[in-house]
Amino acid sequence: MHSLSGSSGNGSNQLYHRFGLVLVPNSSILYIADTYNRRIMTYLLNATSGSVAAGGGHGAGAGSNQLCYPYSFTWDSSSTSASSWMLADGVTGISGNTSIHLVNPLSRVLDPMGNMNVADINNRRIQIFLFDQSDGTTIAGVTNLSGTSSTRLTTPYWAILDDQLHLYVADTFNSRVQKFKRY
Ligand SMILES: *[C@@H]1O[C@H](CO)[C@@H](O)[C@H](O)[C@H]1NC(C)=O
Ligand SMILES: *[C@@H]1O[C@H](CO)[C@@H](O)[C@H](O)[C@H]1NC(C)=O
Ligand SMILES: *[C@@H]1O[C@H](CO)[C@@H](O)[C@H](O)[C@H]1NC(C)=O
């Protein structure tokens, strides 16, 4: 699909420890989380180089044009191209276990109503942030309590929704995927 340079680096035809990847529906546009280059790249399918969509060249930090280690991202069809970001959930640079905080959030998924489900790994829970709200509600797991019972999550690395809005959580260190019926 891509003939990038084959070596890692920060050129427009290179990536460095990339993680997330999204193909925009009905298009030939691909976004890649170029994690260790602290940037999100965008490519046309089959192109040999791409361009920076977010972060990149601004160093690590909490500024609105910076990213630290972007592991994954969600593409929202209403987004326009912008060179800086707005905070969607959590508190920049501060972790915690309250309803507004997150600890090492990894994946997130938007439902069709615009609510964001966030895998809040080190709080061992999945939080839902209703559209435009900064206060989240726990919909799976128990805040900062690990365990193997059906209501607990130990390391919820990834969460996805199916088309009926049932939630599937990869509870990685428990070696299982938990299904939670539609909220
Ligand atoms: C990309 O290349 C593949 C293999 O040559 C081809 O099948 C596909 O149609 C190309 N896609 C685009 C969008 O050019
Ligand atoms: C989670 O619990 C552990 C001890 O069980 C504690 O060290 C840690 O600070 C807690 N994390 C949060 C975000 O409360
Ligand atoms: C939540 O954080 C507070 C403040 O750091 C701490 O005292 C409390 O034990 C934490 N709760 C859990 C369940 O980790």
* Residue the block writes with tokens 């964001």: 116
At 165-175, the pLDDT tens digits run: 999 999 988 98
For the cut 80, the answer to whether the pLDDT of residue 116 exceeds it is yes
For the cut 80, the answer to whether the pLDDT of residue 8 exceeds it is no
* DSSP element (H, E) containing 161: strand 156-161
- The finding on whether 98 has its CB within 6 A of some atom of ligand 3 is no
At 87-103, the pLDDT tens digits run: 777 777 777 899 888 88
Phi, psi (deg, nearest 5) at residue 60: -85, 150
- Are 154 and 171 a contacting pair, CB within 8 Å? yes
**Confidence label for 137 from pLDDT (cuts 50, 70 and 90):** very high
Find which of 1-5, 62-66, 108-112 is predicted with most confidence, using mean pLDDT: 108-112
Nearest CA to ligand 1 atom 10: 46
For the cut 70, the answer to whether the pLDDT of residue 84 exceeds it is no
At 37-81, the pLDDT tens digits run: 777 778 888 888 888 877 777 766 666 667 766 776 766 666 555
Question: What CATH number was assigned to the domain covering residues 105-180?
Answer: 2.40.10.500
Query: Largest Cα–Cα distance in the chain?
Result: 48
Mutate to test the pocket of ligand 1, among 28, 29, 46 (most ligand atoms within 8 A of CB): 46
Q: How many CB atoms lie within 10 A of CB 32?
A: 22
Q: Determine the atom of ligand 2 nearest the C-alpha atom of 144.
A: 1
Rounded to the nearest angstrom, the distance between the alpha carbon of 140 and the centre of ligand 3 is 18
- The finding on whether 143 has its CB within 6 A of some atom of ligand 3 is yes
